Amino acid sequence: MKPSLRRRIFTRIGRAFGIHPDVSGLIGGAMRLANPMQAAMPGENLPAASRVIASGLWNYSFFQFYPDFEGPFWVQRQYNPEDPAFIPRAGSLLSVNLAHRNWMGFRGIRSPFFAMVDPAGALSPVVGSYSIELALIRG
């Protein structure tokens, strides 16, 4: 697809969704930044990036509509303005763990499966899946 045709298509899609016209130029500039000879984004980055973007959008939607939900360790710290790990979100549509990525991973010697434990002790038996947390009630 020719660059001019691609730009026209993205411009029309952007207009339909109310995206600012400068976005097309910024994305195009980012693609050419490393190499003036039309450097393209590495294809291997797309699958990983798409999962992070989808997860961030899901987190953003969930925590916005369920503010009383007791979120995971990183959400409690990253969203609390009084915490040193607070990161202002401004107009971002993504909610991704940026502050507490120091999880510990482990697996069996011959096991292909890998589990992780976050700093608060929540266990994720499958990487990229839900965490399991246990609580004890006294009295």
Counting other chains too, the contacts that 103-106 makes at CB distance below 8 Å and 24 or more residues apart are none
Express each pLDDT in 20-32 by its tens digit: 777 767 777 766 6
Q: How many CA atoms lie within 13 A of 120 on its CB side?
A: 15
How many of the other CB atoms lie within 10 Å of CB of 74?
22
Confidence of residue 107 (pLDDT cuts 50, 70, 90): confident
Interval 87-100 mean pLDDT: 78
Alpha helices (H) along 1-139: 3-17, 22-32, 45-65, 73-78
Nearest of 24, 20, 23 to residue 8 by alpha carbon: 24
Averaged pLDDT of the chain: 77
